[in-house]
Amino acid sequence: MTRLGGNVDEPVRRYLVHAIDDGAPPATRFRLAMTGRIRVGSLWLPFRAEQQLAADAFEWNARVGRGLLQVTDRYAAGTALTEGRLLGRRTLFRADDRDTVRSAAGRAALEACAFAPSTVLPQHGVSWRAESDELIVAAWEVPPERPEVRIRIDRDGAIRSVSAERWNPREHQYVACGADVHAEQRFGAFTIPRHVTVSWWYGSDRATPFFAARLRDLAPVWA
């Protein structure tokens, strides 16, 4: 299939063919809508969010709790911002330092593999390899990082989990961050995870879920 941009290992091909319909538009940016819960301290708060996502950029805008808290997370071109505003006016928290950038770069890579498969095709500079019939790995430059995203797939190529060593600003070190996929769905020409739970210390006894989401919509962005 010419869209794969050359030879790839069979498990990688299986993932991409499952995720992207033959003849799908060559989208490199997507718009997502989602609902879910996010952990703040010991509390889980509901949210509704919209997001734009590419292989090396994202912007996530959410209303958290009863909608009083507006949260923005964004990353592009080696810069990032995490900000929360009460009623859209009073700033409750804001971070844009190097720790924030490094963590956001890891998030961009993880979410591109999960939710925007056509952005991580080999012809876009993404290096792919298969470590087994069920484990594939993608790597590319997301400044200042080069994350290695590990994707577990089933026999049909559907994602079961996605993880990477991601910079954790609180721990000041790389920590495994990953998502378990509970269900998938077709959105137009793309079949992607619909229901995920994300944890720090993924795959260990210390695994700590902090984010759970259900996708409501996904669409390519033509800009």
Here the CATH number for the domain that contains residue 50 is: 2.50.20.10
The answer to whether residue 42 sits within a structural domain is yes
In a domain, residue 222? The reply is no
Does the residue 73 lie in any domain? yes
**Boundaries of domain holding 92:** 2-217
Per-residue pLDDT for the chain (223 aa), expressed as one digit of tens each? 435 656 899 999 999 999 999 988 889 999 999 999 999 888 999 999 999 999 999 999 999 998 789 999 999 999 999 999 998 789 999 999 999 999 999 999 999 999 999 999 999 999 999 999 999 999 999 999 999 999 999 999 999 999 999 999 999 999 999 999 999 999 999 999 999 999 999 999 999 999 999 999 999 987 5
Q: How many domains does the chain have?
A: 1
**Within-domain flag for 27:** yes
Is 173:158 a contact under the CB 8 Å cutoff?
A: no
What six digits make up the tokens of 208? Answer: 């700590």
Give the integer Cα–Cα distance in Å for 164 and 200.
10
Tokens for 198? 């994300």
The reply to whether 97 falls in a domain is yes
Return the pLDDT at 1.
43
Q: How far is CA 128 from CA 61, 137, 139, 144, 167, in A?
A: 31, 6, 7, 20, 22
Give the CA distances from residue 195 to residues 91, 180, 181, 182, 192, in Å, rounded to whole numbers and listed in that order: 30, 9, 6, 5, 9
Q: Give the pLDDT score at 144.
A: 97
pLDDT for the residue numbered 89: 82
* 14 in a structural domain: yes
Is 191 a domain residue?
Answer: yes
With respect to residue 223, please indicate whether it lies within any of the assigned structural domains.
Answer: no
Residue 30: Cβ-neighbour burial (10 angstroms; 0-12, 13-18, 19+): buried
